[in-house]
Every structure is written in C-alpha cells, then in structure tokens.
Amino acid sequence: MADPIKKEYSNGDITVTWEPHKCIHSKKCVSGLPEVFDFNRRPWIKAEGTSSENIATQIDKCPSGALGYYYQGNEKEEPTEAGNSKNVEVSPNGPLLIFGKLKIKTPEGELEKDSKVTAFCRCGGSKNKPFCDGTHQKIDFQG
C-alpha cells in the first residue's frame, strides 16, 4: 500500500499540513478563513494569508483532522500521556468523530497514528475505509 499524500505549506512560523485522504469535505476551512484556504487557487493553501494564530484557530475546527499544523522547531509529535481522555461524537448524517490521539491498526496490520480528530465512516460508502471521505453527502446518508 502506497503512503498517503501529506503536503505542507509554511509561512516561516507555522506549517500547515494537509492529508487529503482524511478530508470529509465539510468546507469549514474555506468558509472560515478564505484568505488562507481557497479551493480555486493553486496551491489552495496560502499560509501567508493571515496570522499564524488565526490559521491555528481555524485548523482546530477541522472535523476530520485532514488539516493540521505545527510551529517552526516543533516538528516532533508530543508523546501521548497515559489516561488522556477521548471524546466521541456522532455527526448527524455523517461520520463518527473521535477527538484525541489514537493508534489505528489497519486490516493489513499497519499502525497509523492519528491525532486531534479522526473521522470514521458510518455510511459504508467511503473509498477510504475505515475513514470517512465525505461520501455520506453524495449518497444522502441518513443516520
């Protein structure tokens, strides 16, 4: 299995990470911060569009974890502490959202590390199972 795509865009202070295979197409990025995120522009992320703080605040609203960030010099992942809580939210007519750091073992036995938010498919239509890819919107999933 090929490694999934992960792109990075930096303004010198904050680096925005983009993992398209995790995206559920909620469009919160574009509607919340169009000066940085614009689907019609290439590249579609312009990290120089506003302050690093504004970018981090908007990325924290990404429900799938497809967007992430780190500050210059902090590329290392923070270790997971024992007892960290996880929150689970059922998105109406959408994915199961898990907030917190997870280790996910795929059917092939590979371990994927996911942090912040993980969106699991509930509709059964995702081409990126077990993760949501936004198919629930196309098939008008109700649940």
Boundaries of every domain in the chain = 7-71, 87-138
CATH number belonging to the domain at 7-71, selected among 3.90.870.10, 3.40.640.10, 3.30.950.10, 3.30.70.20: 3.30.70.20
What integer pLDDT is reported at residue 1 of this predicted model?
Answer: 52
* pLDDT tens over the chain, length 143 residues: 567 889 999 999 999 999 888 888 888 899 999 999 999 999 999 999 999 999 999 998 888 888 999 998 765 444 334 445 678 889 899 999 888 877 888 778 776 666 678 889 999 999 888 889 889 989 999 98
Does the model's pTM come out above 0.75? no
3-class secondary structure for 99-133?
ECCEEEECCCCCEEEECCEEEECCCCCCCCCCECC
The pLDDT value recorded for residue 75 is: 57
Looking at residue 85, its pLDDT comes to 67
Looking at residue 44, its pLDDT comes to 96
Cis peptide before 130 (omega within 30 of 0): yes
Instruction: Dump the DSSP string for 76-100.
Output: SPPPPPTT---EEEE-TTSPEEEES
pLDDT value at position 80? 38
- What is the per-residue pLDDT for 82? 40
